[in-house]
Amino acid sequence: MKILVCISNVPDTTTKITFSDNDTQFNQNGVQFILNPYDEIALARAIELTDNGAGTVTVIHVGDASAEPTIRKALAIGAHDAVRVNAVPTDAFFVATQIAAYAKDQNFDLILAGRESIDYNGAKVPAMLAEILDIPSVSIIKKLNIEGNMGVVEREIEGGKEVLAIPFPFVAGTAEGVAEWKIPNMRGIMSARTKPLQVLEPIEVQTSSKIVKFETPAPRGQVTLIDAAEPQKLVDLLHAEAKVI
Amino acid sequence: MSVLVYVENAEGKFKKSIFEAVSYAKAIADQLNTSLTAVSIGNVAQDELQKLGNYGAAKILNVNQDALKSFINQAYASVIAEAAEKIAASVVVLSNSFSGKGLAPRIAVKLNAGLVDGAISLPELNDGKFIVKKTAFSNKAFAYVELHADKKVISLTPNSYKIVEAGGQAAIEDFAATVKPTDLTALIKDIVRATDKVSLPDAELVVSAGRGLKGPENWGMVEELANLLGAATACSKPVSDADWRPHSEHVGQTGIAISPNLYIAIGISGAIQHLAGVSSSKVIVVINKDPEAPFFKVADYGIVGDAFEIVPKLIEELKSFKANN
Ligand SMILES: Cc1cc2nc3c(=O)[nH]c(=O)nc-3n(C[C@H](O)[C@H](O)[C@H](O)COP(=O)(O)OP(=O)(O)OC[C@H]3O[C@@H](n4cnc5c(N)ncnc54)[C@H](O)[C@@H]3O)c2cc1C
Ligand SMILES: Nc1ncnc2c1ncn2[C@@H]1O[C@H](COP(=O)(O)O)[C@@H](O)[C@H]1O
């Protein structure tokens, strides 16, 4: 089993988000970047599925050299090798095209990604990648197992779940539940330094979208506190003032 | 030039989020001085389809083929792209539901279109530009995305655009789509859906509880409050991790993101990862015994006190409110 895991490098969850250049750029100053948490569980599941020599796991990232600590972390967690496409992504289509260009003749059985990246929350790259490669895609995967030449996945749907069997190769976007996060051990960290990291130059892509401005939400007003002895007041306010009930 | 909206059905019925998508698509069609066509896939009765006319669909392409009975995103994306080409759509609108998230990127690639996922308001059209607002950084910011391809695909966040009843009639037309066997290799083995409950991503009202509730045996009052309000139930991550509640109820950074009109948080501290999934709720009520709980900082209404005393009282008050209204 040959698995490719797509990894993105995102601001840590607790980051205070600010913008520069007249609110047109995300201000990266002092921001701690991490491996996208969903990609981390995709990677953990890929490693479980290829345990004990049952296969290999390659990670791919589209981004500049500043993401190398994140790529090394993926290697420390247990990926066998890594690929970085050396370009600052312009949009999801750009990323998907670069990954497709690399993956198309590598015969991966399975391509895993996170359900979404926690920066732009697009949930776009995996399905775009699958479309470019003309293979199935499935997302918000909470379980993933191999049965013969099929992957059996559990997908989240509104108010429930759906179980699908999909022939390899396909792309899956993973969510919580698919595996436990793996903390790299000392051996992993040491060996990550010497594992292969291939840097590729991007292919040319016509992009179709661009973020032109950012805005931070208006702060909520001061909280209205209601005495615990008078929940009636809450009901009144929700009805008469907030008009939600 | 025209606008196409994909109308997803749930067992033959359209949900509110679909009427929102149709209303939204109709407004875009008006902006562009063109008409709106809807495409429906699956077995939907004529009177249900006809409802779409009321929200502004002038024409409905009705795809009801055996091969397309169940949702396979690869095949559905092909059908929607084919419909878009048939009517020369310049804009395709979908609801950003779980299925919509799997479809929109595929359709955008097929049509060579620019994509905005999870739009929250109408496009701004100035000097030939087409700019759409969406949330970013897990609800901590908004991004304005300019689409510069000729064709655009937009998925609309549920509960972010108000339904508009236009009062029109739609012409329903059968559409025989091309089905490629290579699009249908995935097999659905099982679907489990709790049909008696309000589904969380679509819910207008949500009652949510956290570790402050101590154990699963205490969720009776949460369910009762939710039932009284016609609300969906949700929970914090540690609660679903401990199997007190199903994972499908977990909201936040690693769970689902929701934007209901009302979010009631009971015994939840308001950690940043939790807020990531709920802070775009229109009204937030927090019930927590700790006055320093961070959740109060982003709440509209708060009650400081013990949930085990407050929630039962609130239930009684709501019962009498319901009786009088
Ligand atoms: C990478 C990552 C991702 C995460 N993703 C998510 C996510 O998606 N969603 C999420 O929810 N969390 C997430 N978390 C966890 C998050 O950081 C918090 O730990 C979690 O939200 C806390 O849950 P809680 O508020 O239910 O519990 P606690 O933090 O334990 O808070 C319980 C609250 O209940 C109150 N309380 C106790 N007893 C009572 C009572 N009798 N009456 C009233 N109030 C009472 C307490 O004052 C306290 O504020 C994530 C964490 C990480 C590191
Ligand atoms: N720059 C990138 N390089 C590699 N993979 C990426 C990149 N951006 C996104 N991905 C993958 O696509 C998933 C969804 O990302 P997004 O479409 O940005 O929400 C992520 O969880 C990653 O697995």
A10-25 residue pLDDT tens: 999 888 999 999 999 9
Domain B200-324 in the same topology as domain B2-183: yes
A132-170 tens-digit pLDDT: 999 999 999 999 999 999 999 999 888 789 999 999 999
Three-state DSSP string of B107-156: HHHHHCCEEEEEECCCCEEECCEEEEEEEECCCCEEEEEEECCCCEEEEE
Contact (Cβ atoms closer than 8 angstroms) between residue B57 and residue B36: yes
Q: What pLDDT, on the 0 to 100 scale, is given for residue A121?
A: 75
Determine the distance separating the centroid of ligand 2 and the alpha carbon of A127, expressed in angstroms: 10
Residue to substitute in B256, B268, B297 for testing ligand 1 pocket (most ligand atoms within 8 angstroms of CB):
B268
CA A187 to chain centre: 26
Computed over its alpha carbons, how large is the radius of gyration of chain A?
A: 21
pLDDT value of position A218: 87
Give the integer Cα–Cα distance in Å for A208 and B145.
10
Per-residue pLDDT reduced to its tens digit, B244-280: 998 889 999 888 889 999 999 999 999 999 999 999 9
In CATH terms, the superfamily for domain B2-183 is HUPs (3.40.50.620)
CA–CA separation, B205 vs B220, rounded Å?
Answer: 18
Segment A188-195 long-range contacts (CB within 8 Å, at least 24 positions apart): A188/A75, A188/A76, A188/A77, A188/A78, A189/A76, A191/A75, A191/A76, A192/A72, A192/A73, A192/A75, A192/A76, A193/A72, A195/A75, A195/A79, A195/A80, A195/A81, A195/A82
Task: Give B4→chain A minimum CA distance, Å.
Answer: 19
Which residues 98-127 in chain B show a CB within 8 A of chain A?
98-99, 101-106, 108-110, 112-118
Q: Does B268 sit in the ligand 1 pocket, CB within 6 Å?
A: yes
Q: For A126-139, what is each residue's pLDDT tens digit?
A: 999 999 999 999 99
The answer to whether B138 contacts A121, with C-beta atoms less than 8 Å apart, is: yes
Q: With an 8 Å Cβ cutoff, is B176 touching chain A?
A: no
- More confident call, A97 vs A177: A97
Q: Which residue has the higher pLDDT, B44 or A181?
A: B44
β-strand partners of A173: A113, A139
Tell me which residue in A128, A142, A162 faces B191 most closely, judged by beta carbons: A162
Phi (first) and psi of residue B15, to 5 degrees:
-90, 170
Neighbours of A199 (CB within 10 A): 11
Interface of B with A in 20-59 (CB under 8 A): none
Alpha-carbon distances of B38 from B15, B51, B134, B275, rounded to whole Å: 15, 11, 23, 35
Closest-CA residue to B118 (of B227, B215, B201): B201
pLDDT at A189 exceeding the cut of 80: yes
| B269 C-beta closer than 6 A to ligand 1 | yes
pLDDT score recorded for residue A159: 78
Closest partner CB to A242 (pick from B272, B300, B306)? B300
Q: Cα separation of B41 and B6, whole Å?
A: 8
In Å, how far is B312's CA from the nearest CA of chain A? Answer: 10
Domain limits, chain B: 2-183, 200-324
Q: Mind listing the pLDDT tens digit for each residue in B283-302?
A: 999 999 999 999 999 999 99
Determine the residue of B254, B292, B304 to mutate for testing ligand 1's pocket, defined as the one with the most ligand atoms within 8 A of the Cβ atom: B254
**Is there a contact between B144 and A212 if contact means CB atoms under 8 Å apart?**
yes
Please tell me the predicted confidence (pLDDT) of residue A160. 84
CA angle B70, B74, B78 (to 5 degrees): 100
Q: Is A120 close to B314, i.e. CB distance below 8 A?
A: no
Distance (Å) from CA A7 to ligand 2 centroid: 6
Cα–Cα distance, A74 to B163 (Å, whole number) = 45
d(CA A27, CA A42): 28
pLDDT at A41: 96
Taking a C-beta distance cutoff of 8 angstroms, is the pair A202, A187 a contact? no
Q: What pLDDT does residue B300 have? A: 97
State residue A61's pLDDT score: 98
Distance (angstroms) between ligand 1 centre and the Cα of B294 equals 10
Determine whether the interchain pair B284/A232 forms a contact, defined as Cβ–Cβ distance below 8 Å: no
Q: How confident is the model at residue A207 (pLDDT cuts 50, 70, 90)?
A: confident
The list of chain B residues with pLDDT below 70 reads 195
pLDDT of res. B21: 98
Phi, psi of A240 (to 5 degrees): -85, -40
- Please tell us whether the domain made up of B200-324 is placed in CATH 3.40.50.1220: yes
Q: What is the pLDDT at residue A60? A: 98
Cβ <8 Å between A245 and B254: no
Average pLDDT over residues A34-54: 95
DSSP H or E segment with residue A46: helix A37-49
Q: How far apart are CA B247 and CA A239, in angstroms?
A: 31
pLDDT for B197: 76
What confidence category does residue A118 fall into, taking pLDDT thresholds of 50, 70 and 90?
confident
Using an 8 Å Cβ cutoff, are A129 and A6 in contact? yes
List, as ranges, residues 193-222 from B with C-beta within 8 Å of A. Answer: 193-195, 197, 199-202, 205
More confident residue, A239 or A119: A239
Of B97, B139, B304, the CB nearest to A225: B304
pLDDT at residue B94, rounded to an integer: 98
Owner of token pair 């779409």: B52
pLDDT above 90 for A69: yes
**pTM summary value:** 0.93
In chain A, residues with a C-beta closer than 8 Å to the C-beta of B103 are: 127
* Test site for ligand 2: of A36, A119, A137, most ligand atoms within 8 A of the Cβ: A36
B154-184 b/e (C-beta count within 10 Å ≥ 16 → b): bbbbbbbbeebebeeebebeebebebeeebb
Q: Is the CB of A7 under 6 A from ligand 2?
A: yes
A2-216 folds as Rossmann fold (3.40.50)
Asked if residue A103 has pLDDT above 80, the reply is: yes
pLDDT of res. B194 = 74
Ligand number, closest to the Cα atom of A64:
2
Which of A149, A7, A158, A137 lies closest to A72, judged by CA? A7
Question: Cβ A228–B201 below 8 Å, yes or no?
Answer: no
Ligand number, closest to the Cα atom of A84: 2
- Distance between CA A122 and CA A103 in Å, rounded? 21
What is chain A's mean pLDDT, rounded? 95
CA distance A122 to A90: 13
